Amino acid sequence: MKRIILASNSPRRRELLGGLDLDFEVKVLPDIDESYPDNLPAAEVAGYISREKAAPYRTLIGEGDLVITADTVVIVGDEVLGKPKDAEDARRMLQLISGRTHQVITGVCLLTTDKERAFSVTTDVTFKQLSEDEITYYIEHYKPFDKAGAYGIQGYGRILVEKINGDYYSIMGFPISNFLENLRKIGY
């Protein structure tokens, strides 16, 4: 590989990819559209957005370069929860997932000049029943506005979670094991 480009501002993705002893650079293009068609099934949203994030890089990479894009969404029932717009939206999301099991889906796209491989990883997360005081405290002290579903599993957010069934690192936004498996499948 000539270059590995992580096309993400997520400090968690940088940390997780950095832990794999791979040399990479972070390059994020401005104004990437993260919208998706209204009729797209909820389980396909993260994968769709990760592919859409990769598309603008096609003309910017050279032979041997690899671009990694990712997106994480939280799904409750059929509702897709992305990043909250503000504190009230964060409160609504946390109230919605309080005491329930929801799915966290992280979609990843691996793009080279001649290949594109996208995959998604789904993890079930059960939240404990949250009090209004706990929700307020979490929002005020941890400002979860850059996190799908208005929470992060690491740090204080771990006390919100009662049970996990699946890939912990996918909840953080980068499913390491599946990434390595798919990297091998495209020949790296």
Instruction: State pLDDT tens for residues 62-87.
Output: 999 999 999 999 999 989 999 999 99
Out of 21, 23, 31, 71, the active site residue is 71
Give me the sign of the Cα torsion angle 109, 183, 15, 57: negative
CA 133/CA 90 separation, integer angstroms: 14
pLDDT for residue 33: 87
Q: Average pLDDT, stretch 150-172?
A: 94
Tokens 């832990």 correspond to 19
Beta bridge mates, 125: 102, 164
User: Is 71 annotated in the active site?
Assistant: yes
pLDDT for residue 8: 96
pLDDT for residue 1: 61
Q: Average pLDDT, stretch 100-104?
A: 98
